[in-house]
Amino acid sequence: MTKTMRLTASALALSAAFTGAALAQAHVFTAKDMASLDRLSDPRVSPDGAWVLYDLRTVDFLANKSAHDLWVADAKGKTPPRKLAASAGGIGSARWSADGKTIYFISGRAGGVDQVFRTDLAGEAAVQVTSMPFDVGAYKVAPNGKVIVVSQAVFPDCPDLGCTQARLDAGKAQKNSGVVHDRLFVRHWDTWADGTQNHLYAVTLDDKGVASGAPVALMAGFDGDTPTKPFGGDEDFTITPDSKTVVFSAKVAGQDESWTTNFDLWSAALDGSTKLQNLTAANKAWDAAPVFSADGKWAAYRAMKRPGFEADRFGIILRDQATGQERELAADWDRSADAIAFSPDGKTIYAQAGDVGQVKIFAIDIKTSKVTPLTGEGHVIAFEVAPKGLIYTADSLKGPAQLFSLPAKGGKPTQLTTIAADALKGVAWGEPEQFSFKGWNDETVHGFVIKPANFDPARKYPVAFLIHGGPQGSFNNSWSYRWNPQIYANAGYAVVMVDFHGSTGYGQGFTDAISQHWGDRPLEDLQKGWAFATSQYSFLDADRACALGASYGGYMINWIAGNWNQPWKCLVNHDGVFDARGMGYSTEELWFDEWEHGGTFFDKPEAYEQFNPVNHVKAWTKPMLVVHGGKDYRIPLAQGLGAFTALQRQGIESKFLYFPDENHWVLKPQNSVQWHTEVLGWLNKYTAPKKAQ
């Protein structure tokens, strides 16, 4: 018989325990490996299409921090990428000037306040462009190169930047610590409100390309944020091709900010000569990400139709700038556009969208609305339009993000980078396979199975059953630095993931199906998906399986614990909803909970109780690891503590892993490794083979 090894928390020992021997000469991909990988992001192609800037994040694991450098790649892939020396002072958000001669970027190298700097293609020296009093959060340079628009966090009722500075200084001098709030969003994501909002300012650049003169407040008195919080960036605003106007997406805060999704597009003259104008007042749902054709004849933006629903389909709206007439492009295309851009000739709009477990780039003909996919399997993260094609970053279940170039009409892409190639050399990847089955309402549901690394078809393997969050989301054929199935595959597990009803990329009706049905339709999909996978893949050991999930996935773990705990040896609940009523009264973005339950917690209390895990804790029997972040304001800490209390009070084997410095995600490298050590140790404890008699 196979010798049983001593159980440890390390991925290597776990892997050995499941295989009976160390993985043969293969590099076992561990959580530390993943947390230490270099990461590519934010590709930006030069106006002539010859070069691509990108951000490369590197990690100092021992110091538990990361750094960002600016690299430039040859868009034809003929010469290797190179790092710009200007990166040495810290760098981010690199952008090209319209003539391609200047590279702008943000850095805190001068006094620790983030400002805009510039360099050239050689990238040897850096010149400071802006001298704003506060961190520049996002920026854009006008096409004529004479004006730069920057964001500043200011008090919206202040007439100038000096007023905000004086008020901040006065706050620091106070000896008392109490803060008074008179409306919601007292905290958002992982930050408490301090009264400031992100506003845009226009600054003139002199002949030397340096900011001069007083900044022009473009949002004076506006009660709202651009960029939007917490994840907005320069995609939230754009400058018209004639360099005269900024158009931005923002929501008027008011008393209802936490329960409305009514973002509108607003315009303002860069010279401050006109008042703000609401361009989309008629639509009470979400309007976002304005873009313009190069000749200025067309504007386009993404728009939802249903107020209050954050996961509604983003359609593409075209506006004729001469007449003001609007129409939806490809209105029958049942996909939601994540990002859009015009082709150089203005005849095509490129869109990024999820599609049956993949995320692709599509070309949409403006005249005919014909939709053509340009990429295939994998997960496109971001793309840029070049004069004769596209530049994009993409990853997959078998590897992190790389940079690619693609002809304008599609075809075979050219890979331009090999990020982390040395670190990943010799890794035995778990092979992914997409499958489908009949789920709720006899509708087709898709999922993925990932074989263990160094797979032996003659063996059975324990299973990690991963449940995604959102719930309007998808695991996709994509790489993750938080829930990466390859970590489990390299630890000796097979992985099963089901894109249940509510998942994105399968049509808006499929996504809509989960609202007000958190506990029945998706549970039926998960049950049928598990039954299908275990019947079709003989290497899955259904008697040695644990279920894991975060956010909505964590909610589902709590729901499974009381409604479908039979198949599982153990459970892992990360930042999951435990009590729907408590969640409704303490989360920050109320529009989410109110849409998902069909109303407010006081008007529809029965809806919050219908699929409430707290009502089923008497049926809990399976060991559960509960994980929660102290700065998680989306699903507050009491939800995790409540689940752990329910487990402990009933004598059910359980642990509580608490990260006081993490939010809804675990982001710090060493915390990530600790998370994986605890999770894999928990799974191994309950799924390891029985010892020989």
In the CATH scheme, what architecture does the domain 13-32+423-687 have? 3-Layer(aba) Sandwich (3.40)
Q: Which two tokens stand for residue 196?
A: 């400031």
Higher pLDDT, 533 or 2: 533
Residue 14's pLDDT band, with cuts at 50, 70 and 90, is: very low
> In the prediction, which pLDDT does 691 show?
56
How many other C-beta atoms lie within 10 A of the C-beta of residue 567?
Answer: 18
Q: Tell whether the model's pLDDT for residue 38 goes beyond 60.
A: yes
CA-based nearest residue to 52, from 316, 417, 325, 411: 417
Mean pLDDT, to the nearest integer, of 385-399?
A: 97
HEC string of 394-457 equals: EEECCEEEEEEEEECCCCCCEECCCCCCCCCCCECCCCEEEEEEECHHHCEEEEEEECCCCCCC
Using one digit for the tens of pLDDT, what is the confidence trace for 564-597? 999 999 999 999 999 999 999 999 999 999 999 9
Using one digit for the tens of pLDDT, what is the confidence trace for 250-280? 999 999 999 999 999 999 999 999 889 999 9
Domain residue limits, the chain: 13-32+423-687, 129-161+182-281
- Among the residue ranges 11-20, 315-324, 404-413, 661-670, the one predicted with the least confidence is 11-20
Residue 21's pLDDT band, with cuts at 50, 70 and 90, is: very low
Residue 689's pLDDT band, with cuts at 50, 70 and 90, is: confident
Residue 324: its H or E element:
none
- Among the residue ranges 5-9, 177-181, 243-247, the one predicted with the least confidence is 5-9
Dihedral angle computed from the Cα positions of residues 429, 430, 432 and 435, in that order, rounded to the nearest 10 degrees: 180
Q: Is 554 within 8 Å of 575 (Cβ atoms)?
A: yes
Q: Which two tokens stand for residue 102?
A: 């200047």
> Any idea which residue has 């994980």 for tokens?
627
Residue 408's pLDDT band, with cuts at 50, 70 and 90, is: confident
HEC string of 558-584 equals: HHHHHHCCCCCCEEEEECCCCCHHHHH
Residue 9's pLDDT band, with cuts at 50, 70 and 90, is: very low
Mean pLDDT, to the nearest integer, of 323-329?
A: 96
Residue 350: its H or E element:
strand 348-355
How far apart are alpha carbons 117 and 196 in whole angstroms? Answer: 25
CA-based nearest residue to 487, from 11, 59, 21: 11
Q: Which residues of 468-487 are buried (b: 16+ CB within 10 A; e: fewer)?
A: bbebbbbbbbbbbbebbbbb
Whether 551 is a known active-site residue: answer yes
DSSP 691: P
Checking 263-268 for CB contacts under 8 A at 24+ apart, the result is 263/228, 263/287, 263/288, 265/290, 265/301, 266/222, 268/200, 268/218, 268/219
> In the prediction, which pLDDT does 1 show?
29
> In the prediction, which pLDDT does 410 show?
79
> In the prediction, which pLDDT does 693 show?
34
Q: Name every residue whose Cβ is closer than 8 Å to that of residue 169 and which is 6 or more positions away in sequence.
A: none
Residue 12's pLDDT band, with cuts at 50, 70 and 90, is: very low
CA-based nearest residue to 287, from 270, 268, 266: 266
Using one digit for the tens of pLDDT, what is the confidence trace for 539-568? 999 999 999 999 999 999 999 999 999 999
Using one digit for the tens of pLDDT, what is the confidence trace for 441-483? 999 999 999 999 999 999 999 999 999 999 999 999 999 999 9
Q: Name every residue whose Cβ is closer than 8 Å to that of residue 112 and which is 6 or more positions away in sequence.
A: none
Distances (CA, A) of 504 to 350, 364, 611, 661: 19, 20, 22, 30
Q: Tell whether the model's pLDDT for residue 637 goes beyond 70.
A: yes
How far apart are alpha carbons 93 and 235 in whole angstroms? Answer: 12
Considering 199, 501, 628, 664, which one is annotated as catalytic?
664
HEC string of 478-510 equals: CCCCCCCHHHHHHCCCEEEEEECCCCCCCCHHH
Mean pLDDT, to the nearest integer, of 367-390?
A: 97
Length of the chain: 693
Phi, psi of 237 (to 5 degrees): -150, 155
DSSP 26: -
Q: Is 120 within 8 Å of 96 (Cβ atoms)?
A: no
> In the prediction, which pLDDT does 80 show?
95
Q: Name every residue whose Cβ is closer than 8 Å to that of residue 600 and which is 6 or more positions away in sequence.
A: 584, 594
Residue 207's pLDDT band, with cuts at 50, 70 and 90, is: very high
Considering 97, 551, 654, 672, which one is annotated as catalytic?
551
Residue 125, class by beta-carbon neighbours within 10 Å (0-12 exposed, 13-18 middle, 19+ buried)? exposed
Mean pLDDT, to the nearest integer, of 207-211?
A: 94
How far apart are alpha carbons 575 and 663 in whole angstroms? Answer: 9
Q: Name every residue whose Cβ is closer than 8 Å to that of residue 533 and which is 6 or more positions away in sequence.
A: 435, 447, 449, 496, 540
Considering 114, 503, 632, 654, which one is annotated as catalytic?
632
Using one digit for the tens of pLDDT, what is the confidence trace for 335-355? 999 999 999 999 999 999 999
Q: Tell whether the model's pLDDT for residue 690 goes beyond 80.
A: no
> Coil, helix or strand for 531?
helix
Phi, psi of 533 (to 5 degrees): -60, -45
Residue 268, class by beta-carbon neighbours within 10 Å (0-12 exposed, 13-18 middle, 19+ buried)? buried
Residue 76: its H or E element:
none
> Coil, helix or strand for 194?
coil
Q: Which runs of E-coded beta strand occur in 519-647? A: 540-550, 570-574, 624-629
Residue 434's DSSP bridge partners are: 448
Mean pLDDT, to the nearest integer, of 401-422?
A: 94
How far apart are alpha carbons 436 and 214 in whole angstroms? Answer: 60
The angle that helices 669-687 and 11-19 make with each other, rounded to 10 degrees, is 20
pTM: 0.94
How far apart are alpha carbons 82 and 71 in whole angstroms? Answer: 5
Residue 111, class by beta-carbon neighbours within 10 Å (0-12 exposed, 13-18 middle, 19+ buried)? exposed
